[in-house]
């Protein structure tokens, strides 16, 4: 299937489509963390927070009919994300929806998710592995892969980083995801070490942004 993709800023109405692309692209990871595919509300709530924290950092690839066929979240002020989660009541809303069964998973998956996030936070705040911007999540729908969508999203993200005068960008990718690593390397990302969660190892990659 040939996809004619247009890259642009996300809008709030794109959140369900972004969540759907994420769930399709990272199904194995979602199943590992949740034990089953959660209800759509769970992923939508997470991406709603990420979007609200820095709307300009939310990019989408749209197909010719306007549907979301890919996305990239490229925040430049990630610590503010967790502050917003607490101060704006997202954490309490998530807790209520989880308790009332609106997410569709129980206590054990929640413990796995929290422990994995703690691991990533420790790694992110290690001085040698810190950065002031992230490729937090990027994916393209299976039906539109291999047509340059991922590269176009990366170009838009790097352009945004440049406009914000970012010095260093970090991302994580599974070491066996050769296709993604090839794309990231093409954009100047290099091996910066490893971290791990309950699902296995992650390769950390960095890009030093040219200034001026």
| pLDDT tens-digit series, residues 172-204 | 999 999 999 999 999 999 999 998 888 889 999
Q: What is the mean pLDDT of the chain?
A: 86
Mean pLDDT of 2-23: 94
Fold of 6-115+133-166: Aminopeptidase (3.40.630)
**Better-scored residue on pLDDT, 151 or 197:** 151
Q: From its phi and psi, is residue 2 left (phi > 0), alpha (psi between -120 and 50) or beta?
A: beta
Angle in degrees, 0-180, between the axes of helices 90-99 and 40-53, rounded to the nearest 10: 180
**Better-scored residue on pLDDT, 167 or 3:** 167
Q: What global pTM score does this model have?
A: 0.87
Q: From its phi and psi, is residue 50 left (phi > 0), alpha (psi between -120 and 50) or beta?
A: alpha
- CA-nearest of 39, 58, 38 to 48 is 58
Q: What CA–CA distance (Å, rounded) separates 73 from 75?
A: 6
Is residue 112 scored above 50 in pLDDT? no
Residue spans per domain, the chain: 6-115+133-166
Q: What CA–CA distance (Å, rounded) separates 30 from 130?
A: 26
């Amino acid at each position: 299937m040939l996809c004619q993709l247009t890259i642009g800023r996300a809008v709030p109405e794109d959140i369900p489509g972004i969540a759907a692309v994420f769930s399709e692209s990272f199904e194995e990871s979602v199943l590992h963390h949740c034990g089953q595919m959660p209800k759509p509300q769970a992923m939508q709530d997470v991406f709603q927070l990420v979007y609200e924290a820095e709307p300009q950092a939310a990019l989408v690839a749209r197909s010719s009919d306007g549907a979301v066929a890919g996305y990239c979240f490229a925040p430049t002020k990630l610590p503010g994300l967790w502050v917003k989660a607490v101060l704006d009541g997202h954490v309490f809303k998530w807790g209520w929806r989880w308790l009332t069964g609106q997410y569709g998973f129980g206590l054990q998956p929640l413990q796995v998710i929290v422990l994995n996030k703690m691991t990533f936070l420790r790694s992110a705040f290690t001085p040698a592995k810190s950065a002031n911007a992230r490729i937090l999540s990027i994916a393209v729908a299976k039906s539109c892969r291999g047509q340059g969508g991922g590269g176009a999203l990366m170009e838009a993200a790097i352009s945004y980083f440049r406009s914000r005068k970012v010095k260093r960008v970090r991302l994580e990718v599974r070491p066996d995801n050769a296709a993604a690593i090839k794309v990231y390397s093409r954009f100047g990302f290099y091996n910066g070490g490893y971290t791990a969660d309950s699902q296995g190892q992650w390769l950390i990659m960095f890009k030093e942004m040219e200034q001026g």
